[in-house]
Amino acid sequence: MRFAAILALAAAFVMHHAAPARAWGWDGHRIVCALAWDELTPPMRARIEAILEKPGRDAFAESCLWADDVIRWRRETASWHYLNVPKGATRIDMARDCAAPNSCVAEQIGLHAARLGRPWALDDLRFTAHFIGDIHQPLHISYAEDRGGNEIKGKFDGVDANMHGVWDYNMLDSTHKAWPEIAADLHGRITPADRAAWQSGTPADWANESLAITLSAPVGYHPYDPPFVFGEDYTKANLPTVYRQMEKAGVRLAWVLTQAWK
Delineate the domains of the chain, giving CATH numbers in brackets.
3-261 (1.10.575.10)
**Helical pair 203-214 and 232-261, crossing angle rounded to 10 deg:** 180
96 pLDDT band, cuts 50/70/90, is very high
Burial class (CB in 10 A: 0-12, 13-18, 19+), 28: buried
What pTM, to 2 d.p., does this model score?
Answer: 0.90
User: Exposed, middle or buried, 106 (CB in 10 Å: 0-12/13-18/19+)?
Assistant: buried
Q: What is the pLDDT of residue 22?
A: 47
Query: Which own/partner contact pairs does 7-12 have at CB distance under 8 Å and 24+ positions apart?
Result: none
Q: Is the dihedral of CA 121, 209, 198, 41 positive or negative?
A: positive
pLDDT in tens, 182-240: 999 999 999 999 999 999 999 999 999 999 999 999 999 999 999 999 999 999 999 99
Average pLDDT in the chain: 91
Any idea what the Cα angle at residue 45 is, between residues 42 and 47, rounded to 5°?
Answer: 115
Average pLDDT over residues 37-46: 98
**Would you state the pLDDT for residue 23?**
56
Percent of the chain with pLDDT over 70: 91
- Per residue in 2-22, pLDDT (tens digit) is 333 333 333 333 333 333 444
